[in-house]
Chain A
Amino acid sequence: MGKIKYHMLVCGGTGCHASQSDQILKKFETLIHDRGLENEVQVIKTGCFGFCEKGPIVKMMPDNTFYTKVKLDDCEEILEEHIIKGRKVTRLLYENPETGEHVSDSKHMEFYKKQIRIALRNCGFINPENIEEYIARDGYQALGKVLTELSPEATIEIMKKSGLRGRGGGGFPTGLKWEITRAVKSDQKYVVCNADEGDPGAFMDRSVLEGDPHSVLEAMAINGYCTGADKGLVYIRAEYPLAVERLKIAMKQAREYGLLGKNILGTGFNFDVEIRYGAGAFVCGEETALIHSMEGLRGEPTVKPPFPSESGYLGKPTNVNNVETYANVPVIINKGADWFAKIGTERSKGTKVFALAGKINNVGLIEVPMGITLREVIYEIGGGIKNDKEFKAVQTGGPSGGMLTVKDLDTPIDYDNLIAAGSMMGSGGMIVMDENDCMVAMAKFYLQFTVEESCGKCSPCRIGNKRLYEMLEKITQGNGTPEDLDKLRNLSQVIKDTSLCGLGQSSPNPVLSSLNNFYDEYMEHVNLKKCRAGKCKSLMQYIINAENCIGCTLCARNCPVNAITGERKQVHLIDQEKCIKCGACMEKCKFNAIYIK
């Protein structure tokens, strides 16, 4: 890379990809070619930078200039100004919302300041399609170290000492899991990477695989060495074409470099990886269901024990870990268990990746140390609530998690605290809600998801969640009674208590946590037939305030069902019978004349 003066890192994560980052990359390449700068400037497509809100992102190295919301039309200017004239394109720099100052280096942005990147260490730094860039950042060094210097037992000891717990949701100690699988005697064992991320509103695993696939492959090989498996399987959503593509490229390159396959690094250790595709079933995140799906069966979970570590894929001992868990492994081996264990809280070590989304200013992928508070995440990293609305709740753990409120803002985030607060870590979805979100409707949203995703095997999950959903529907339609709230609570408890797998055992969490934290709102729905957030259509009416209406007819022209009548320059009226409560009128009204009752 001798003569190269500039590296342009273009984000190829899904969010930026969706905003044409691919075309931007091509445009840069063409422009560079046209100017004959190939030897000085290199364009690299990286994985997700995390700051999706400001995408597409282009980062200039070595000066760390971080351009945001880059459009195709901006490419020429960036090249002309930044590269040729050496002047930053100020208008594309991040603007500190507080001070209005332009910030050029990402490490000075609030969004990045509190983050510690372990699992995401390479995302946004390297070209995921080039193994050499991974190797240049200590890639496969951990595998080499393990194979040449450490016994499987010693490696497992490091993992145990590091305190790493499963990042897929359950939080089971990773080293212990490996040790259990290692202890089972068998002629064949498997290690599996669970990349069937199904939480609606989470894209951590996808981003790691898209941004740094080799870290997962390396960790799987280390896992194979420790547990005694020579075969790894990545179970990945078929809906993640980019991740699949990059994983395939990474596997091919790793094989070419002798880092997968027979006799790895000449140590006699054999290990290779295959891809298995999920086909759209959230329950397949559960490890027994995942294994059945890999076997070509319906992804129904089975009762544990036997655990996969005893009898898993094809009846053989199988160790299942999730993508983010794997992504931590090489760093732990390289930097040591003590280094890792210094980060985080007493029982939750290291960092956690969250997909921060919802009513928040800085939507994106973040990695924070365990023990950080929700307040720091939401107000510092996340930049606070969008449009200066009031914070109401944050949901962690997706449909399995609970809604946390203002009172939880200063709770340090770790596995145990989240459970104590009625939620869970889950895989890392973190959805922020504001005053305009109805908590009953949110609970209903999650239940609808669970009802659609329940496999149907056990009765509490198959029928119970449906009944929960129906009761919530009844309440949001204004037909609920106070007794329904007791029924909701009891049924939720029984579903948790009796369901076969983790899906059903956690599916009532959104109901229970919202009942606990927002009981008033439920009571309002039930007793006053009122939805304070204005989300439950059956409980609200759009009304035209005669004082403000000037009769501009804009609302009437935009009403999709012609429910608004009124002569020009006369006060308009909404026919409540016809109104479908889409809200188009209110959005269009320039005179604040429409309100919700």
Chain B
Amino acid sequence: MAKIKLSEKKLEELKAVCKSFNNEKGELINVLHKAQGIFGYLPAEVQEVISKELNVSVAHVYGIVTFYSFFTMTPKGEHPVSICLGTACYVRGAEKVLEEFKRVLKIQVGETTPDGKFSLSCLRCVGACGLAPVVLVGEKVYGRVSPDGVKDIVAEYNS
């Protein structure tokens, strides 16, 4: 695992977050949410700091991070692409859309493009089943996406 130095400022921010939850073990998941908000992901260093601050073992923190799919240890791309694979989207062809994204971006699910621009993930139901299949790029929702439309979506962010 590559050694990443945490910036002093963000580290202080992280410690302040822990403190705002009274450094309580029970608040671990809340702390991790905030930490991921600060760093964009949860590298080992961040987990170690949290473990110290909340006085729980690093193994425990890691056990939590790897249990919940919301938490990630790899930095997301500048434009995280999420394909909804909820049932409604699935029966309306989300898998093909996913395949096309994999092909166009040349990455697999959970990966980030080498230039750091895009990352690809799947999610379950965003509640826009009327627009199925649905793709999210960052916060923006694309509805009724067809494999044909994938190139255009990517192009929007590639200019």
Contact flag (A, B; Cβ within 8 A): yes
Which A residues are CB-close (under 8 A) to B29?
276-277, 279, 293, 296
| Chain A residues whose CB sits within 8 angstroms of the CB of B63 once the complex forms | 298
Interface of B is mostly: helix
A19 touches B96 (CB 8 A): no
Assembly CA distance A355 to B88 (angstroms): 10
Residues from chain B with a CB closer than 8 A to the CB of A19 are 131, 141, 143
Contact among A54, A357, A584 with B87 in the assembled complex (CB-CB below 8 Å): A357
Q: How far is the CB of A235 from chain B (nearest CB, A)?
A: 10
Please tell me if the beta carbons of B69 and A15 are within 8 angstroms of each other in the complex.
no
**In the complex, are the beta carbons of A398 and B87 less than 8 A apart?**
yes
Q: Which residues of A contact B (CB under 8 A)?
A: 13-15, 17-19, 52-55, 198-203, 206-207, 238-240, 276-282, 293-299, 314, 355, 357-359, 363-364, 395, 398, 429, 431, 433, 437, 442, 445-446, 449, 452, 455, 560, 582-584
Q: Is the beta-carbon distance between B88 and A363 smaller than 8 angstroms?
A: yes
Which residue of chain A has its CB nearest to the CB of B91?
A358
The stretch that binds A, out of B9-17, B112-120, B121-129, is: B121-129
**What are the nearest 3 A-B pairs in CB distance?**
A52-B130, A203-B127, A201-B87
- Tell which of B70, B88, B103, B134 touches A280, judged by Cβ atoms closer than 8 Å: B70
Residues of B within 8 A of A238 (CB): 33, 70
- Whether B125 and A15, one on each chain, are in contact in the complex, defined by CB atoms closer than 8 angstroms, is no
Q: Pick from B33, B71, B87, B148: contact of A200, CB below 8 A.
A: B87
Report the separation of the CA atoms of residues A413 and B24 in the bound assembly, to the nearest whole angstrom: 46
Docked complex: B5-60 residues within 8 A CB-CB of A: 24-30, 32-33
Q: Which of B83-136 contact A (CB under 8 A)?
A: 85-92, 96, 99-100, 103, 123-132, 134
The answer to whether A52 touches B128 (Cβ under 8 A) is yes
**A560 contacts which chain B residues (CB < 8 A)?**
100, 103
Q: How far is the CA of A15 from the CA of B85 in the complex (A)?
A: 16
Residues of A contacting B69 in the complex (Cβ-Cβ under 8 angstroms): 279-281, 452
A239–B90 alpha-carbon span in the complex (Å): 19
Residues of A within 8 A of B103 (CB): 560
Complex formed: what's the CA distance from A294 to B26 in Å? 7
| Residues on the B chain within 8 Å of A584, using CB | 147-148
Docked CA distance A81–B141 (Å): 30
A296-B26, A298-B63, A455-B67 known; A201 and B128 CB under 8 Å?
A: no
Chain A residues whose CB sits within 8 angstroms of the CB of B130 once the complex forms: 15, 52-55, 357, 363-364
Residues of chain A with a CB closer than 8 A to B91's CB: 358-359, 431, 433, 437, 442
CA distance A198 to B88 in the complex (A): 14
A18-B131, A429-B87 given; name 18 further pairs at CB < 8 Å: A13-B127, A14-B128, A55-B130, A200-B90, A201-B89, A201-B125, A202-B125, A203-B127, A238-B33, A280-B69, A296-B27, A297-B64, A298-B67, A357-B88, A431-B88, A582-B99, A583-B96, A584-B148
Q: Which B residues are CB-close (under 8 A) to A299?
A: 67-68
Question: Which chain A positions have C-beta within 8 A of B32?
Answer: 279
CA of A294 to CA of B68, assembled, Å: 13
- Give the residue of B70, B131, B148 whose beta carbon is less than 8 angstroms from that of A15: B131
Cβ of B148: which chain A residues have Cβ within 8 Å of it? 584
Nearest to B27 among chain A residues (CB) is: A296
In angstroms, Cα B128 to Cα A203, docked, is 8
- Minimal beta-carbon separation of B102 from chain A (angstroms): 11
Please indicate the chain B residues that have their CB under 8 angstroms from the CB of A293 in the complex. Answer: 29
